[in-house]
Amino acid sequence: MVILKTEEEIKKLREIGLIAANILKEAVDLIKVGVRAKDIDNMLGVLADKNKVKNAFKGYKGYPANVCISVNDEVVHGIPTEDKIFKKGDIVSLDYGVEKDGYYTDLAVTVIVDDGSDEDKKLVCVTREALYKGIEKAVVGNRLFDISYAIQRHVESNGFSVVRAFVGHGIGRNLHEEPQLPNFGSPGCGIKLKEGMVLAIEPMVNAGSYDIIIKNDGWTAVTADGKKSAHFEHCVAITKKGPIILTALEGFNA
């Protein structure tokens, strides 16, 4: 069942989305050559306390950290370990969620450490653009897979592939709610989009093939061909006035 949100709840979700985006920006600003992913994870513990929110991923289905940090061929759910040390040119995606007053938010960004190759920059840009192409379709009266198709089309027309094994999702009083939102699909198909739906839209884009493998830690998804991957995510409310991006922060991910 898709749970629709009231205007009041959407306001609340925007407040929380903004807090989460501010926190994530602070963490992303710390990413430099030689910094360890574990340092970023620790900092997110401190920042969550300071902002009086809970880190939503910690303990979720046993997930062991505050944030997912996925580097290069890691697609999603990378664990921020001590030995994950950033190098120049690394593609680093951070996926972060918080809970406050029983409501959840979820967002992801990908950055390149110091400076990267043109191909890697293109992968990151196209993934970010694909997210916004999807958001544009999050409009009352459209169908769910209009979002999926817009993302897929942008990614594939740029020569990259859309990961199949993970999807976007509804969000609200739970981190994951219905509907599931694939990043590929046929336009005109899927459920009708209604006022009050809140969706986490999150394209995961591989430079090579879309196949992934889960590593032995039970979490980290890596590309099967070892090529790089990028990920962006926003929570978006569908309203009469059009899509509202709940996790956007001017100068960071907006």
Q: Which residues bind ligand MF3 (CB under 6 A)?
A: 57, 60-61, 63, 68, 77, 95, 97, 106, 169, 200
- Phi and psi at residue 25, in whole multiples of 5°? -60, -45
Give me the residues paired with residue 36 across strands: 85
Q: CB-wise, 106 or 146, nearer to Co ion?
A: 106
Q: How far is the CB of 109 from Co ion (least distance, A)?
A: 13
How many Cα neighbours within 13 Å face the side chain of 113?
Answer: 22
Contact call for residue 177 and Co ion (CB under 5 A): no
Q: How far is the CB of 209 from Co ion (least distance, A)?
A: 22
Q: How far is the CB of 66 from Co ion (least distance, A)?
A: 15
Q: CB-wise, 113 or 162, nearer to Co ion?
A: 162
Q: How far is the CB of 14 from ligand MF3 (least distance, A)?
A: 18
Closest CA to 21 of 235, 239, 229: 235
Q: CB-wise, 80 or 116, nearer to ligand MF3?
A: 80
DSSP designation for 251 = T
Binding residues among 190-219 for Co ion as defined by CB under 5 A? 200, 202
Segment lying near Co ion (by CB under 5 A), choices 31-39, 75-83, 106-114, 215-223: 106-114
Contact between residue 48 and residue 55 where contact means Cβ atoms under 8 Å apart: yes
241 makes contact, choosing from ligand MF3, Co ion, none, with CB < 5 to 8 Å by partner type, with none
Q: CB-wise, 106 or 146, nearer to ligand MF3?
A: 106
The separation between CA 118 and the C-alpha centre of its own chain, rounded to angstroms, equals 23
Contact call for residue 123 and Co ion (CB under 5 A): no
Containing H/E element for 230? strand 229-231
Nearest-Å Rg of the Cα atoms of the chain is 17
Closest CA to 247 of 144, 152, 171: 171
Assign 3-class secondary structure to 27-67.
Answer: HHHCCCCCCEHHHHHHHHHHHHHHCCCEECCCCHHHCCCCE
* Contact with Co ion (CB under 5 A) among 74, 90, 99, 106: 106
Q: How far is the CB of 112 from ligand MF3 (least distance, A)?
A: 20
Instruction: Please give the residue ranges that form the binding site for Co ion (CB under 5 A).
Output: 106, 200, 202
